[in-house]
Amino acid sequence: MRALPLLVFLVACGDPEAGPASFTPLPDGGAADAGPRADAVTPPLDATPLDATPRDAASLADAAAPAADAGPDAASPDGAVDAAEDAAVDAAPSPDAGGFGPCVANGQPGECLDVGDCAGVPVPGFCPGPAEIQCCVAAPMGCDPDARPAGPLDEAPGDAGCPPGMAAVGGFCVDRYEAALVQADGMPWSPYQWPGVADVRAVSVAGVVPQGYIDGVEAAAACAASGKRLCTDEEWLRACQGADGHTWPWGDDRRPGTCNDARAQHPAVELFPDDPNPFSHLQDPCLNQLPASLAATGAHPGCVTPEGVFDLVGNLHEWTADPAGTFRGGFYVDTERNGPGCTYRTTAHDRPYWDYSTGFRCCADALP
Cβ atoms of residues 220 and 191 within 8 Å: no
pLDDT at 141: 75
- Would you say residue 98 lies in a domain? no
Rg of the chain (C-alpha set)? 20
pLDDT of residue 48: 29
210 occurs within a structural domain = yes
Report the CATH number that the domain containing residue 196 is assigned in CATH: 3.90.1580
Judged on CB neighbours under 10 Å (0-12, 13-18, 19+), 254 is middle
The answer to the question of residue 350 being in a domain is yes
Euclidean distance between CA atoms 362 and 321, whole angstroms = 10
Supply angle C-alpha 226, 232, 237, rounded to 5: 115
* Alpha-carbon dihedral angle through residues 328, 333, 339, 341, given to the nearest 10 degrees: 70
Can you give the pTM of this predicted structure? 0.69
DSSP 9: -
User: How high is the pLDDT of residue 25?
Assistant: 38
Does residue 70 belong to any structural domain of this protein? no
Query: pLDDT truncated to tens, each residue of the chain (368 aa)?
Result: 333 333 333 333 444 333 333 333 333 333 333 333 333 333 333 332 323 333 455 544 433 333 333 333 333 333 333 444 344 334 333 333 346 899 987 667 899 998 888 888 887 778 988 888 988 988 877 899 999 988 889 999 999 999 999 999 999 999 999 999 999 998 999 999 999 989 999 999 999 999 999 999 999 999 999 999 999 999 999 999 999 999 999 999 999 999 999 899 999 999 999 899 999 999 999 999 999 999 999 999 999 999 999 999 999 999 999 999 999 999 999 999 999 999 999 999 999 999 999 999 999 999 88
Question: How high is the pLDDT of residue 122?
Answer: 81
Residue 256, C-beta contacts closer than 8 angstroms, at least 6 positions apart = 262
**Residue at 344: amino acid letter:** Y
Residue 111 located in a structural domain: no
- Domain membership flag for residue 205: yes
3-state SS, residue 345 = strand
Q: Please state the separation of Cα 65 from the chain's center in Å.
A: 18
Residue 82 lies in a domain: no
CB-based burial label for 161 (10 Å; 0-12, 13-18, 19+): middle
| pLDDT value of position 58 | 53
Residue 38, domain extent: 1-64+144-368
Instruction: Please indicate, yes or no, if residue 99 is contained in any of the structural domains.
Output: no
Give pLDDT, residue 276.
Answer: 93
- Angstrom distances, CA of residue 82 to CA of 2, 79, 303, 325, 353: 19, 10, 47, 38, 30
Q: How many domains does the chain have?
A: 1
Q: Is the dihedral of CA 327, 330, 331, 333 positive or negative?
A: positive
